[in-house]
Amino acid sequence: MGIAIMGGVMSSLASAKVQSSLSTSDTPSDTPNLTNFIACDAWAPAEEKVKAALGHYNFPLKTLTNDNLTGAREGDIILLSCKPHGVKDILSEPGMRDALHGKILVSILAGVTQEQLEAALYSDGKGVPEGGCRIVRVMPNTASFVRESMSVIQKTTPPLEPSQLNLVRFIFSSIGRVVELPPAQMDVSTALCGSGPAFFALILEAAADGAVAMGLPRAEAQMMAAQTMRGTTGLVLEGGEHPGVLRDKVSTPGGCTIGGLLVLEEGAVRGAVSRAIREATVVASQLGQGAKNVNGTRH
Ligand SMILES: NC(=O)C1=CN([C@@H]2O[C@H](COP(=O)(O)OP(=O)(O)OC[C@H]3O[C@@H](n4cnc5c(N)ncnc54)[C@H](OP(=O)(O)O)[C@@H]3O)[C@@H](O)[C@H]2O)C=CC1
Ligand SMILES: O=C(O)[C@@H]1CCC=N1
């Protein structure tokens, strides 16, 4: 996710550079002045992976292994994208709170609240000091890789400075769509947007399986299912179509669509899909508590 987000930002900055070189306007650009990038990882071979994925954007890019402190000291805005259980070790490292003082820390960790992040960084229990680090939670998704993420920025209290919020909005707009929602809606956003690509991929694969069973070659079936899903989302997002109306429009009386839809209803697909979102929301809410095997507690 870290690579995907950095790639989106670099790509946006590169496009903005081309635009401004072609523009004849004197109006200053609202593109933030992000010039240098640092990628930190715990695994040395990741340095080559990062360079291979991001080097072609031609931005100054430094890679560090097991040296988050230097990254935090040298950065102005820091993106935290480790697994949720690794966060305490990273934020409680001696010197980290000074390194992050006055900076923005953007966390994309599922289920880890702003309060938990603050407690990990300021472990003396005195809370965030005046001018300390501003922590912002954001939930993007894996479609960041193709700049089609749905990212949810948590509204912070107190609010960020407008310039800080614009910077966070710029980063996540560069990898897709952005909405801002209150903290209480971050776990359901994690289920719907963070986990969502996995759920939709399962439905897509099932549709392709059915077509393969009826004689379509696998490659065509997968591409056709994916393009049909993309077309449907286009009707909803660009066409403003209500999903129920869309469904009715496709269902010719006595036709094949209503036949297929009734099979889906018999299989309780609507209930199962919405229950998957509810289940993932509950599991997401426990990820920040260090809970183990949270998926094994319900039936
Ligand atoms: N995958 C998804 O679709 C989504 C994930 N998220 C959230 O994003 C976060 C990252 O997920 P994802 O990208 O899938 O996970 P990955 O395991 O691919 O990425 C985590 C990265 O953090 C690195 N890391 C771990 N510990 C440290 C450390 N101490 N110092 C520096 N780097 C470290 C890992 O290094 P190493 O390679 O050495 O393990 C790895 O490169 C998670 O918190 C997840 O909840 C949010 C939305 C969607
Ligand atoms: O499954 C997970 O925990 C992460 C969060 C969102 C997507 N993947």
Q: Which ligand is nearest to the CA of 112?
A: 1
Between 33 and 234, residue with greater pLDDT: 234
Q: What is the mean pLDDT of the chain?
A: 94
Residues in CB range of 42: below 8 A, 6 or more apart: 65, 66
Residues in CB range of 106: below 8 A, 6 or more apart: 77, 78, 79, 80, 136, 137, 138, 168, 171
Note the pLDDT tens digit of each residue in 166-222.
Answer: 999 999 999 999 999 999 999 999 999 999 999 999 999 999 999 999 999 999 999
pTM: 0.94
Average pLDDT estimate for 248-252? 98
Residue 152 bridge partners (DSSP): 139, 179
Note the pLDDT tens digit of each residue in 58-105.
Answer: 999 999 999 999 999 999 999 999 999 889 999 999 999 999 999 999
Q: Which ligand is nearest to the CA of 79?
A: 1
58 is in an annotated binding site: no
Atom of ligand 1 nearest to the CA of 140: 47
pLDDT bin (cut points 50, 70, 90) of residue 23 is confident
How far does residue 47's CA lie from ligand 2's centre (Å)? Answer: 24
Q: Which ligand is nearest to the CA of 141?
A: 1
**Protein residue whose Cα sits closest to atom 20 of ligand 1:** 82
For 289-297, the CB contacts below 8 A with 24+ separation are: 289/111, 290/85
How far does residue 172's CA lie from ligand 2's centre (Å)? Answer: 17
Spell out the alpha helix ranges (H) of 138-254: 162-173, 186-189, 196-213, 218-237, 243-250
**Protein residue whose Cα sits closest to atom 37 of ligand 1:** 43
pLDDT of res. 183: 97
ipTM of the complex: 0.96
**Protein residue whose Cα sits closest to atom 31 of ligand 1:** 41
